[in-house]
């Protein structure tokens, strides 16, 4: 411990007495990265040499770094130098039995707080976008349930190519975080965008991520966090279904996937909002940099939402179960030969309406959804009034539309001035468009 502290002092940090607390130039506790586990994937680009410096700086700040070196990466840096700097073995062969015995690729990717790909080559980004898994690096990236930060590095023409642009867009829409690339002279002799971010910038991006400032590393926020119209705002989003227990083994639920709500939370955070996502049970990974509160039932969802108030904007995208058991059975209901049991139900609290009636604590802007199978706009208008929402995003959830569980949505936005019909678009695009509209509305109110 003493040695580590001494090393930090040598590295220019000031040490305050017990309890030990080390600050950097911004007056932030170095604790930010201490005990954070980074899985660093080093791919094949000349910029790979910069990752050696990155590892050193991460370790100085108390993070542990484990490296995966691709075949291409090994052309630029040696496993020995990565191992020496990271103080850990280097993983470089998916099919090596010893590696699999030491740590399988699934564990490797899950045993980290953040995956960092530096340099992220055009080839590796294309494989990530396509979901390929033909070596250890791509397999770990596909298997992970942890946030991923890429630091692209390539020739300017490759960076500007339509294929790379599409891959960058795809990765951003999946919540992959990015730092750089910057512009400048390149090793290939050309000039332009494509230079990998410097180690200090990558370190800054990693620190931003752990500080919860996901917008700073979120490509959807525009050019590296420059467009952050919701910075300083608080947002609340509900997502997914709720499960209402019938007995200890059975529950009432619905087909909501949570994709739309999660995408909205990501988009709001991408525009700089401090976002709380209250999620029912879904199969989705927690979006990075967002405070996610997991709940099961409607009543738990309501309590979590009320705890998050006050907020500038709330978006209720959850498909909350309308009913629950009047009396949840303490033991598993058994077949007693007397026919199926009659399930007596009672109504759940309406979260959207409760937020609309929250008086001083009412969100500045309250947005709901209307899941309808007929008379979509008509019902949405009535719901807006009944629940006291400012906007209702109405969507047709008839089975033929594939909206529930699918990736696309057709929205009719109902507000006090009428109806706005949006074309069919992905749930990610719906989220981005809604977040943008929210940002504009909030800035007009100011």
Residue 418, exposed/middle/buried by CB under 10 A (0-12, 13-18, 19+)?
exposed
The residues, ordered by sequence, that sit 6+ positions from 79 with a Cβ below 8 Å of its Cβ are 69, 90, 92
For ligand CTP, the closer of residues 96 and 373 by Cβ is: 373
Q: Which one among 352, 411, 413, 431 touches ligand CTP, defined by CB under 6 A?
A: 352
**Cβ 49 to ligand CTP shortest distance, Å:** 51
Q: Is the distance from CB of 383 to CB of 366 less than 8 angstroms?
A: no
**By CB under 6 A, is residue 376 in contact with ligand CTP?**
no
Q: Collapsing DSSP states into helix, strand and coil, what is residue 302?
A: helix
Residue 255, exposed/middle/buried by CB under 10 A (0-12, 13-18, 19+)?
exposed
Q: Total binding residues for ligand CTP by CB under 6 A?
A: 17
Q: Which of 246, 203, 201 is nearest to 224 (CA)?
A: 201
Rounded Cα–Cα distance for residues 199 and 371 (Å): 47
**Cβ 348 to ligand CTP shortest distance, Å:** 5
**By CB under 6 A, is residue 350 in contact with ligand CTP?**
yes
Rounded Cα–Cα distance for residues 177 and 288 (Å): 9
337 Rama class: left (phi>0) / alpha (psi -120 to 50) / beta: left
**By CB under 6 A, is residue 175 in contact with ligand CTP?**
no
Rounded Cα–Cα distance for residues 435 and 433 (Å): 6
Q: Which one among 82, 267, 351, 439 touches ligand CTP, defined by CB under 6 A?
A: 351
**By CB under 6 A, is residue 316 in contact with ligand CTP?**
yes
Upper half-sphere CA count for residue 32 (Cβ side, 13 Å): 19
* Look-up of token digits 């991460």: 58
**Cβ 248 to ligand CTP shortest distance, Å:** 23
What character string, x for contact with ligand CTP (CB under 6 A) and - otherwise, covers 320-349?
Answer: x-x-------------------------x-
**Cβ 380 to ligand CTP shortest distance, Å:** 8
**Cβ 312 to ligand CTP shortest distance, Å:** 18
**By CB under 6 A, is residue 383 in contact with ligand CTP?**
yes
**By CB under 6 A, is residue 278 in contact with ligand CTP?**
no
Partnered with residue 239 across adjacent β-strands are: 279
Which of the stretches 51-59, 77-85, 312-320, 336-344 binds ligand CTP when contact is defined by CB under 6 A?
312-320
**By CB under 6 A, is residue 261 in contact with ligand CTP?**
no
Q: Catalytic residue at 67?
A: no
**By CB under 6 A, is residue 413 in contact with ligand CTP?**
no
Active site residues per annotation? 188
Binding site for ligand CTP (CB under 6 A): 238, 298, 316, 318-320, 322, 348, 350-352, 368-371, 383, 387
């Amino acid at each position: 411990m003493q040695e580590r502290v001494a090393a930090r002092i040598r590295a220019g940090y000031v040490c305050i007495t017990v309890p030990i607390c080390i600050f950097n130039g911004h007056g932030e506790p170095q604790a930010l990265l201490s005990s954070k586990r980074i899985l660093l994937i080093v791919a094949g680009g000349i910029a790979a040499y910069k990752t050696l410096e990155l590892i050193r700086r991460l370790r100085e700040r108390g993070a542990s770094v484990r490296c995966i070196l691709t075949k291409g990466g090994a052309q630029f840096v040696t496993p020995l130098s990565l191992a020496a700097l990271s103080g850990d073995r280097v993983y470089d062969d998916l099919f090596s039995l010893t590696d699999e015995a030491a740590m399988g690729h699934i564990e490797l990717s899950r045993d980290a707080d953040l995956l960092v790909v530096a340099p992220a080559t055009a080839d590796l980004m294309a494989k990530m976008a396509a979901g390929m898994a033909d070596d250890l690096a791509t397999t770990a990236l596909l298997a992970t349930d942890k946030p991923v930060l890429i630091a692209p590095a390539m020739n300017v023409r490759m960076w500007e190519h339509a294929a790379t642009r599409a891959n960058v867009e795809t990765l951003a829409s999946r919540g992959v975080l990015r730092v750089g690339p910057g512009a400048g002279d390149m090793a290939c002799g050309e000039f332009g965008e494509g230079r990998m971010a410097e180690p200090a910038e990558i370190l800054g991006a990693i620190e931003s991520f752990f500080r919860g400032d996901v917008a700073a590393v979120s490509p959807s926020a525009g050019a590296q966090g420059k467009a952050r119209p919701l910075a300083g705002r608080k947002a609340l989003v509900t997502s997914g279904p709720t499960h209402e227990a019938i007995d200890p083994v059975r529950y009432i639920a619905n087909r909501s996937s949570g994709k739309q709500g999660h995408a909205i939370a990501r988009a709001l955070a991408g525009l700089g909002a401090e976002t709380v996502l209250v999620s029912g049970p879904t199969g989705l990974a927690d979006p990075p940099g967002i405070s996610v509160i997991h709940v099961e039932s409607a009543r738990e969802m309501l309590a979590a939402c009320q705890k998050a108030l006050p907020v500038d904007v709330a978006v209720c995208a959850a498909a909350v179960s309308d009913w629950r058991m009047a009396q949840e059975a303490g033991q598993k209901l058994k077949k007693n030969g007397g026919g199926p049991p009659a399930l007596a139900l009672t109504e759940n609290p309406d979260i959207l309406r409760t937020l609309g009636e929250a008086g001083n604590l009412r969100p500045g802007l309250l947005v709901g959804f209307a899941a309808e199978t007929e008379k979509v706009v008509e019902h949405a208008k009535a719901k807006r009034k009944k629940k006291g929402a400012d906007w209702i995003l109405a969507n047709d959830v008839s089975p033929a539309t594939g909206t529930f569980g699918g990736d696309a949505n057709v929205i009719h936005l109902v507000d006090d001035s009428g109806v706005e019909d949006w074309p069919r678009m992905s749930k990610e695009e719906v989220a981005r468009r809604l977040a943008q509209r929210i940002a504009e509305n909030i800035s007009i109110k100011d």
